[in-house]
Structure 1
């Protein structure tokens, strides 16, 4: 049954909008917006299925087709919609290989570096369209060296290795995902003297802990061949146009200047699977790693090395000035048309992107459809609403950053607030972060929307019961598209989601099937998030 009893992200976003737009709120329209009469799980399910039918990395034809779908959906809602394009530096893998020589007496092992399809996989026919596993903006090169296990690759992990007398200089480090950003893992490796970095997905963190735990498609956990891909760029926006928009014919800095900026890695790196990481770990000798460096219950004993295992890591990437497309929709305000309330989500995905980011894209489109229904009933927004569907977020918040750079002065003077939804739904439990100016609005909106997992309470009641620390987190770093608005021009911002981290993040298993089976089987959280 696809008819929901409550409204969630859609309702949160619109509650947020109406609270901003209408002094005082027009209770009739507010009630209408969150009523079951406008709630349709089948619609948001359709949006998500359509958006995720093919892998759609930034710069690809599939992502351009997804942009056309968003544009046509907004236009069908009688929203003035258009595309804003930029030409930006993106990278794609050209060739890569990884070979392990476990010891001088053993033959080398060459890894196939593939994520495996499973029996009955509905996306098997398009699996070859998934980009080969890589780190965006990784340094091209070939390195050979003994392996050192560095836990999560944090600064303190290298401090522990130094205390143990382990010298990392001239080695290839093996780090596991988690705790810190992958770009920092590679940067820390370089600063410690390593010549290359491998980053794997440990079963302890992403595979259910080992033992009898099952993995996707039987459970939510990452399969042994699953690989978390992603960028290792430490900046935001197009690396060749730092501080200004990548418009046609614009000035660009050279690749050499990009490398000297410190924002891109200076050693080759590669993401690998748990299965490949465990094979490499079995080749590492030396001292036994600390207890909190060890793996799952049935993993081998982790040692730190160096060696005797030696890896040969080769990676060659191609750098392309590619066209990206932000899709923008505008509903003009009737009282303060020169004041903007902005809702944003990105569209591009490393693979199918059912959670990241297209659960948020589907929510954005549901917001548009609900606002259209309100307009048919006579509602008009007080302030101008801008719906933004960003491109190339995965590379470095590129689409949103370029748009803010191009419109910096206008947005700084006219934007009231920016509401971001990236991974709208990955599980149960509502979470929100924002600037203090928006705290009361977030609480008020959450108090008016039913909890999609417990119809006897509101989202706010669930929220306060499940939160041990502060109710509303603060936005720091550059985790999603709010960064340019908040950090570049000081616009109040918020970011919302259902669920926390999820194990198939940035892998080819983040697809519609995973969402339908584990993230939100009835799509009631998706609707609620809207």
Structure 2
């Protein structure tokens, strides 16, 4: 099972890479054999990378970059750090108070994620950054609270049809369906003064009721908070279109705001428990059925009020140094043509799924390719390994690198292959530009399904697909965006599993991955094999 499953992100790389005297099949077979490595090595990479929280711009993330650099260098892959000085956002203070009708006393929320009994990371829990939204507007707002479902444009249309006025209220939205930055932007356009975004148990907590949560099950604990950026643009907000190097020209604060990609009202993320407490203070019309919560949840009403919230947030934006780690294996036949493999490293907390499942796979690919070189293999084209920084803030590291290397990438890059949340569970998923569709299908036909040894990944994938097997790379979901949208490089993004409950919370740690995401690390290894054959 270990050897069979040791076969998905690498199958997609081979067609671009191989040039050698023995046939390609010889190296294919060697690559997927356990003689080059085993599941333990990829597990060890993930464990080391997730020992501490490592937000972009922090010392912990610089140490993670040094680890990636040292591993690539130890594989005799020429590697270097590509640094940029970019605008990052950090919390200084935040508070949230709910005033309820008498005789109910007011609630001041502690805005903390709880350590669970036996948490092996309790010793570094104080390094977890306070829950916040990156680039959120600093300010204090107070007003009746209004429930807006997922905060989509159509949700505000529904409220208008119900005769509910959003203006001058603080809205409560639940995570899901759309990007959190769009939740804040839509609230501003509707006239709200502030936004609270909570994690509903229906979507992330196992449906509510008597469902268990991490560490007993995969679901988000009641105190879990999904943090993240609310910036809606790509790259450093102060250098749109050019790289953030040293004393380069930068937009002023007013120009950044005028650009329209930073939020114009304050916001905070909160837990399911806090969101439910706020929902309990809202009266008014009963929300539609599809706006309601999960099993045993109270009836959701839209308000506004009578509960009144006071939301205060102060953040700081500072120019910080980020570090992309770049490694290169020169091609033998077409050295001036590049196949680029990318994954980001920075995480909001421990980042076992997002993003370091992908980082671990990237390092495993590098190790196996280095061992193939010792046996005479040479890549046809140059392979570039890219370990990005500050993706979580808005694809910053990859965007700055693409902006700096735009001309050479436009003329020489053959493809960009991206992995972000490489493993969240069972089931293969891929999105790509159309040029790579057939290659992905061919690759997955060569790789055994890690969860069903009787068939290939392609077989399982095809059987489970209700629509098109391969999605399209729209929006700015991960680091492929700059390659596709700025330079026009063919690209693919792949994963095992699709979404996971503890996303962007402090519970996205090595224990969650080992218990629920990929207990035997079969999916990690199968993923990197598909990547290779592409």
TM-score bracket for the superposition, by shorter chain length:
over 0.9
Name 1:327's counterpart in structure 2. Answer: 325
Aligned length, in residue pairs: 526
Distance 2:428 2:44 in 1: 23
Decide which of 291, 297, 300 is 2:298's aligned counterpart.
300
Name 2:265's counterpart in structure 1. Answer: 267
Name 1:16's counterpart in structure 2. Answer: 12
The superposition leaves residues 448-495 of structure 1 with CA deviations (integer Å, 9 ceiling, x where unpaired) of 111111111111111111111111111100000000000000000000
Query: Per-residue deviation at 1:105?
Result: 4.7
Matches within 5 A, 1:23-422: 26-103=24-101, 105-422=103-420
Query: Is the counterpart of residue 468 in structure 1 residue 478 in structure 2?
Result: no
Distance 1:439 1:34 in 2: 22
The superposition leaves residues 20-50 of structure 1 with CA deviations (integer Å, 9 ceiling, x where unpaired) of 1237971111111122333411000000000
Matches within 5 A, 1:366-515: 366-515=364-513
Conserved in 1, the CA contact under 8 Å of 2:19 and 2:333?
Answer: no
Range with greater deviation from structure 2 (463-472 or 198-207): 463-472
Query: Per-residue deviation at 1:229?
Result: 0.3
Conserved in 1, the CA contact under 8 Å of 2:342 and 2:385?
Answer: yes
* TM-score, normalised relative to structure 1: 0.98
Distance 1:132 1:309 in 2: 25
Distance 1:338 1:40 in 2: 33
Residue aligned with 1:148, SS: strand
Distance 1:123 1:172 in 2: 35
The superposition leaves residues 154-192 of structure 1 with CA deviations (integer Å, 9 ceiling, x where unpaired) of 011001111111101000000000001000000000000
Query: Per-residue deviation at 1:299?
Result: 1.2
Question: Cα distance 1:64–1:449, how it changes in 2: closer, same or farther (>3 A)?
Answer: same
Conserved in 2, the CA contact under 8 Å of 1:99 and 1:111?
Answer: yes
Conserved in 2, the CA contact under 8 Å of 1:359 and 1:526?
Answer: yes
Residue aligned with 1:65, SS: helix
Distance 1:227 1:437 in 2: 38
Distance 1:465 1:309 in 2: 49
Distance 1:404 1:311 in 2: 43
Residue aligned with 1:175, SS: strand
Conserved in 1, the CA contact under 8 Å of 2:27 and 2:372?
Answer: yes
Structure 2 runs not aligned, ≥5 long: 529-534
Range with greater deviation from structure 2 (460-469 or 341-350): 460-469
Distance 2:173 2:437 in 1: 38
Residue aligned with 1:396, SS: coil
* TM-score, normalised relative to structure 2: 0.97
Distance 2:151 2:55 in 1: 27
Distance 2:369 2:464 in 1: 31
Structure 1 runs not aligned, ≥5 long: none
Question: CA RMSD, aligned part only?
Answer: 1.1
Conserved in 2, the CA contact under 8 Å of 1:41 and 1:524?
Answer: yes
Conserved in 2, the CA contact under 8 Å of 1:5 and 1:36?
Answer: no
**Structure 1 stretches (4+) deviating beyond 3 angstroms?**
2-5, 22-25
Conserved in 2, the CA contact under 8 Å of 1:356 and 1:505?
Answer: yes
Query: Is the counterpart of residue 522 in structure 1 residue 511 in structure 2?
Result: no
